Amino acid sequence: MGSVWEYVPDSGHGARHSMVGFTVEAADGVIGHVDRQQDQPGMQHLVVDTGVWKFGRSVLIPAGAVTSIDAAGQKVEVAPSREEIKAAPRFTTDSETADPGYLSEVGDYYLSLAT
């Protein structure tokens, strides 16, 4: 398995493709919409606005959790379930996207789901 911070090769991710506004779905339902994305190599992730589902909070989803991207349908599918994403380390501020400790915690959590 590659890095949790990089898109899997067959996900459909293309350089310079904005996914902002795309719907994010798990196998068990919609998670929210892409609010922001980070495409810096080795730190790729999505910040997803969960709307009312998670009391208006956002979640950070590493690129490695993305299983497919449908640009025409504006949809991103992820491997973890809604409950697994709810249980992920809490995302509160954009400064966390540059915090190695927080990123390590998130990465370890998502890697644990893949085993």
- CB distance 81 to 69 below 8 Å: no
The pLDDT value recorded for residue 1 is 43
The pLDDT value recorded for residue 41 is 83
Mean per-residue pLDDT, 25-33: 94
- Two structure tokens written together for 83: 């409950």
The pLDDT value recorded for residue 95 is 87
Mean per-residue pLDDT, 45-64: 85
The pLDDT value recorded for residue 56 is 64
Kindly tell me if the per-residue pLDDT of 2 is higher than 80.
no
Residues 49, 105: Cα–Cα separation, whole Å = 20
Kindly tell me if the per-residue pLDDT of 14 is higher than 60.
yes
∠ CA 80-85-90, nearest 5°, is 150
For residue range 65-83, what is the model confidence (pLDDT) as tens digits? Answer: 999 999 999 999 999 999 9
